[in-house]
């Protein structure tokens, strides 16, 4: 203990905290010999009734932390190991705090309380507030100490920072105003991306850029909405799916007479006679023409709303800033929309979704930058690079094998308990840029209560890292997470502090690629990354959404609706930005799926009942379009539910005006009598099913059946009559003339005749 130091004390953490203590500033951030330390805190009462008299005191540890795990435990565990240290200074609050009140305290630790014998170290420090009952609140931090002689090899420090979009569903789904405002929040002058660029002035940072940051939606009508498009008001919907054909009995369809057509269903019963091949229905509607109802015209394309125009200007300004960056802040490109390739590799995906997520061609950044960004460094969102990823990664992305991968040091085997260096090599020989897991986790900005605590933790962790091998030249890489909560001012504060720390030397990330990498093996550590919402089931659903979006793009007019907005929604759902954000992911998922299904279900086959009295002929199927825009090239597929009916020829492509209906003719052949359910499916040219299949009930009565039944009935009646006549034969003419022969014999021979007399 230094001369004049206060007596030693032991500090524990109270189970309840009547007051909250927030560390606002430590000045200087790194203490050197001959310097006092000023500690500024804000003390707030958490109890509504206020507090009694309080005493604030600063306690410093007698010895430096001996390892990185010990430092993390001191700062973040709810019950860390008690601090055996000294009371460096105190300040009284005799009046206490009113309920909900707060006050700011500035306490100065004299240099005499800070003298250390070690050349450097990170020392624990606590600001404790006590009441009459004991500890009322505490804030814990760490103070780096460096002596006059710098007895170490400075640690080289490289930075990688993301310029990616936040996990905000309104960037894709919502009204024009909502989407435009979300983009302005993300990429505008007051957004986090511009603030990061401001904070990095003078710091060698390598930026990992998602090209989608400069590609907001630019026109109305192309945004994903959570509900289906408003139906056109002119299209009337039938009250019942079954169509009566008899005006006298609307509930029981009657068999139509030859040549009659069923009304309102758009289906006809062909007029045929026995032995005829087929006859056409009476006056069918021409395929592709609307029914007599008056369709509403498709809404005209609106001009770009002000909110979207403002977002486009913000994106252009961001692109201009990126183009103006110097050589000390290079840009590395990510795949557009930053897909979570690691999660996609774990579950697999089909070729259609792969082409959507990893399209070929120029990225949205190429034109504003006037060049293509290098994009050969892979950044798996889970921080891992397994042995088989060197082969699987290029097969999935289709962009060639990466030249390096950005991975967490937690996934790299350590050497004798030390933290792995930044330059590593996979088992397959791929260079790995291993970012320091603990330093990078600090920059997430979610584990500390204030910017000052974050800066002190980062400095303490880096100094403890230096202490592992103080005489060895080492390089550490810090990768700021995609979902960092650090504000621009907090980053500026961190980069300023790390740039002036005597044990740190800022270097370019590219310098790591030029180092001789260490052969690394697998480690059992887990990176601090959120769980991806993309599992096998959800990826399968995305595959279906991608297929539906692709199919709708083939039948909808591009000037009326932007099918690209659905594709953008699918790409956004596959992004790495949603790790640890399942609620936001589900919100966007619901919007994209609802918009797709609502549009697809706007084109349907009207349910009906058709009476078919022929061996072969045509029926009419009605297709309705409740959408406010026309559709073209729709295919109709009919699948009989029984072998009693055969569809001979499917109709050609169908076009339906906005808010209208049309009928199409289908050639069928009856193979038996009975009720046959006919499943009607509408598909796009590539086979994507639109909406839900509809059932058309067919009452099939082939001509040959009822004719044969009639003939058989007549023949049977003749046979029955002949048999009955033969059984009940009438008397012959001779019998009718002679009368009763026995009576005549009695009269001539007498009643006592013998049988011989009758011979």
pLDDT given for residue 58 in this prediction = 96
Token pair 């590219």 in the structure block, residue: 510
Number of domains composing the chain: 5
Q: What percent of the chain has pLDDT over 90?
A: 59
Which of 14-23, 113-122, 153-162, 613-622 has the least mean pLDDT? 14-23
The tokens describing 53, both together, are 């008299």
Same structural domain, 621 and 482: no
Residue 758 within a domain? no
Residue 497 within a domain? yes
Give every CB contact of residue 69 below 8 A, 6+ residues apart in sequence.
none
pLDDT band at 81 (very low <50, low <70, confident <90, very high): confident
pLDDT given for residue 560 in this prediction = 61
Per residue in 689-743, pLDDT tens? 888 899 999 898 887 655 566 676 787 778 877 777 777 666 655 555 555 555 5
pTM of the shown model: 0.80
Residue 257 has pLDDT above 70, yes or no: no
Strand 631-640 to strand 674-683: parallel, antiparallel, or no bridges (unpaired)?
A: antiparallel
Across residues 18-28, what is the average pLDDT?
95
Residues making up the chain, counted from first to last: 759
Per residue in 327-377, pLDDT tens? 999 999 999 999 999 999 988 889 999 999 999 888 999 999 999 999 999
Residue 520 has pLDDT above 80, yes or no: no
Residue 267 has pLDDT above 60, yes or no: no
pLDDT band at 273 (very low <50, low <70, confident <90, very high): very low
Q: What percent of the chain has pLDDT over 70?
A: 80
pLDDT given for residue 106 in this prediction = 97
DSSP secondary structure of 43-84: EEE-STT----EEEEEEEESS---SHHHHHHHHH-SSPPPEE
SS (H, E, C) 641-705: CCCCEEEEECCCCEEECCCEEEEEEEEEEECCCEEEEEEEEEECCCCCEEEEEEEEEEEECCHHH
Residue 633 within a domain? yes
Is-contact 382 342, C-beta < 8 A?
Answer: yes
Greater confidence (415 vs 294) lies with 415
Same structural domain, 368 and 480: yes
Q: How far apart are CA 663 and CA 199, in angstroms?
A: 64
Buried b (16+ CB within 10 A) or exposed e, 480-514: bbbbbebebebbbbbbebbeebebbebbbbeebee
Average pLDDT, the chain: 83
pLDDT given for residue 688 in this prediction = 87
pLDDT band at 672 (very low <50, low <70, confident <90, very high): confident
Same structural domain, 648 and 722: no
Residue 483 within a domain? yes
Same structural domain, 480 and 335: yes
DSSP symbol at 288: T
pLDDT given for residue 96 in this prediction = 92
Is-contact 336 377, C-beta < 8 A?
Answer: no
The tokens describing 714, both together, are 């007549």
Is-contact 74 81, C-beta < 8 A?
Answer: yes
Which residues form the domain of 724? 706-749
Across residues 165-176, what is the average pLDDT?
93
pLDDT given for residue 249 in this prediction = 32
pLDDT band at 16 (very low <50, low <70, confident <90, very high): low
DSSP symbol at 422: S
Greater confidence (9 vs 70) lies with 70
Same structural domain, 423 and 411: yes
The torsion region of residue 339 among left (phi > 0), alpha (psi -120 to 50) and beta comes to: beta
Closest CA to 153 of 495, 465, 520: 465
Across residues 60-65, what is the average pLDDT?
91
Cβ–Cβ contacts within 10 Å for residue 592, how many?
29
Residue 383 has pLDDT above 80, yes or no: yes
The tokens describing 685, both together, are 């040219």
Peptide bond between residue 576 and the one before it cis (omega within 30 degrees of 0):
no
Across residues 561-579, what is the average pLDDT?
89
Residue 542 has pLDDT above 70, yes or no: yes
Q: How far apart are CA 323 and CA 57, in angstroms?
A: 51
Per residue in 193-206, pLDDT tens? 999 999 999 999 99
Give every CB contact of residue 311 below 8 A, 6+ residues apart in sequence.
179, 180, 183, 184, 187, 188, 216, 217
Residue 118 within a domain? yes
pLDDT given for residue 242 in this prediction = 36
pLDDT given for residue 87 in this prediction = 92
pLDDT given for residue 707 in this prediction = 58
Residue 262 has pLDDT above 70, yes or no: no
Q: How far apart are CA 478 and CA 159, in angstroms?
A: 5
Same structural domain, 273 and 147: no
pLDDT given for residue 40 in this prediction = 98
Same structural domain, 424 and 561: no
Per residue in 601-656, pLDDT tens? 999 999 999 998 888 889 999 999 999 889 999 999 999 999 988 999 888 999 99
pLDDT band at 570 (very low <50, low <70, confident <90, very high): very high
Same structural domain, 555 and 685: no
Residue 135 half-sphere exposure toward CB, CA atoms < 13 A: 17
Residue 187 within a domain? no
Residue 524 within a domain? no
Cβ–Cβ contacts within 10 Å for residue 270, how many?
25
Show which of 519, 544, 568 is a domain's final residue. Answer: 519
Highest average pLDDT, of 48-52, 394-398, 585-589, 628-632, comes from: 585-589
Same structural domain, 39 and 78: yes
Same structural domain, 741 and 641: no
Per residue in 573-605, pLDDT tens? 999 999 999 999 999 999 999 989 988 999 999
Could you tell me the CATH number of the domain that includes residue 693?
2.60.40.10
Residue 627 within a domain? yes
Show which of 600, 633, 653 is a domain's final residue. Answer: 600
Same structural domain, 662 and 642: yes
Greater confidence (300 vs 170) lies with 170
Cβ–Cβ contacts within 10 Å for residue 335, how many?
23
Closest CA to 579 of 450, 676, 419, 444: 444
Same structural domain, 340 and 435: yes
């Amino acid at each position: 203990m230094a001369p004049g130091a206060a007596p030693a004390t032991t500090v524990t953490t109270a189970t309840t905290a009547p007051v909250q203590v927030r560390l606002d500033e430590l000045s200087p951030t790194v203490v050197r010999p001959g310097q006092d330390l000023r500690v500024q805190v804000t003390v707030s009462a958490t109890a509504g009734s206020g507090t009694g008299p309080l005493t604030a005191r600063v306690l410093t540890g007698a010895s430096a932390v001996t390892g990185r795990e010990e430092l993390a435990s001191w700062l973040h565990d709810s019950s860390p190991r008690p601090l055996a240290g000294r009371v460096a200074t105190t300040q009284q609050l005799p009046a206490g705090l009113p309920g909900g009140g707060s006050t700011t305290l500035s306490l100065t630790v004299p240099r005499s309380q800070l003298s250390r014998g070690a050349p450097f170290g990170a020392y624990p420090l606590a600001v404790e507030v006590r009441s009459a009952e004991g500890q009322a609140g505490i804030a814990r931090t760490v103070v780096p100490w460096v002596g006059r002689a710098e007895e170490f090899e400075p640690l080289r420090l490289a930075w990688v920072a993301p310029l990616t979009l936040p996990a905000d569903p309104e960037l894709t789904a919502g009204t024009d105003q909502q989407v435009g405002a979300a983009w302005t929040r993300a990429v505008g002058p007051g957004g986090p991306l511009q603030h990061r660029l401001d904070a990095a002035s003078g710091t060698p940072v390598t930026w990992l850029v998602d090209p989608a940051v400069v590609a907001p939606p630019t026109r109305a009508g192309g945004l994903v909405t959570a509900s289906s498009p408003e139906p056109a008001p002119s299209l009337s919907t039938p009250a019942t799916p079954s169509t009566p054909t008899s005006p006298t009995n609307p509930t029981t369809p009657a068999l139509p007479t030859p040549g009659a057509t069923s009304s309102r269903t758009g289906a006809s019963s062909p007029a045929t006679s026995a032995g005829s091949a087929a006859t056409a229905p009476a006056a069918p509607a021409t395929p592709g023409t609307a029914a007599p109802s008056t369709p509403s015209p498709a809404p005209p394309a609106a001009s770009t709303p002000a909110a979207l125009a403002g977002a486009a200007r913000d994106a252009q300004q961001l692109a201009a800033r990126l183009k103006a960056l110097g050589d000390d802040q290079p840009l590395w490109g990510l795949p557009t929309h930053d897909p979570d390739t690691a999660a996609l590799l774990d579950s697999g995906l089909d070729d259609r979704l792969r082409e959507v997520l990893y399209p070929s061609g120029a990225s949205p950044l190429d034109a504003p930058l006037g060049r293509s960004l290098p994009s050969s460094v892979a950044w798996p969102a889970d921080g891992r690079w397994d042995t088989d990823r060197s082969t699987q990664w290029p097969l999935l992305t289709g962009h060639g094998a990466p030249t390096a991968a950005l991975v967490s040091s937690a996934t790299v085997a350590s050497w004798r308990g030390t933290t792995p260096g930044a330059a590593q090599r996979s088992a397959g020989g791929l260079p790995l840029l291993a970012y320091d897991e603990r330093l990078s986790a600090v920059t997430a900005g979610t584990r500390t209560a204030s910017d000052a605590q974050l800066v002190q933790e980062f400095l303490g962790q880096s100094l403890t890292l230096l202490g592992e091998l103080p005489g060895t030249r080492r390089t550490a890489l810090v990768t700021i997470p995609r979902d960092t909560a650090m504000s621009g001012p907090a980053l500026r504060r961190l980069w300023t502090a790390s740039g002036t720390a005597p044990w740190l030397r800022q270097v370019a990330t590219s310098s790591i690629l030029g180092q001789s990498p260490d052969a690394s093996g697998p480690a059992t550590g887990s990176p601090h990354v959120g769980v991806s919402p993309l599992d096998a089931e959800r990826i399968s659903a995305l595959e279906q959404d991608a297929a539906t979006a692709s199919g709708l793009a083939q039948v909808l007019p591009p000037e009326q609706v932007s099918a690209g907005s659905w594709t953008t929604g699918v790409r956004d759902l596959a992004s790495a930005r949603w790790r640890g954000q399942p609620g936001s992911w589900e919100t966007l998922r619901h919007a994209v799926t609802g918009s797709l299904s609502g549009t697809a279900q706007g084109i349907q086959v009207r349910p009906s009942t058709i009476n078919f009295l022929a061996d072969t002929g045509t029926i009419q199927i009605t297709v309705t379009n409740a959408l406010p825009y026309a559709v073209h090239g729709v295919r109709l597929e009919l699948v009989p539910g029984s072998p009693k009916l055969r569809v001979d020829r499917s109709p050609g492509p169908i076009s339906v005006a906005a808010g209208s209906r049309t009928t199409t003719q289908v050639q069928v052949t009856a193979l038996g009598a009975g009720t046959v359910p006919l499943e009607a499916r509408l598909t796009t040219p590539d086979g994507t099913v639109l909406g839900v299949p509809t059932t058309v009930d067919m009452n099939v009565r082939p001509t040959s059946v009822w004719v044969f039944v009639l003939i058989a009935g007549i023949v049977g009646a003749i046979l029955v009559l002949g048999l009955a006549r033969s059984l009940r034969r009438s008397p012959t003419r001779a019998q009718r003339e002679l009368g009763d022969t026995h009576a005549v014999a009695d009269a001539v021979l007498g009643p006592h005749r013998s049988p011989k007399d009758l011979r």
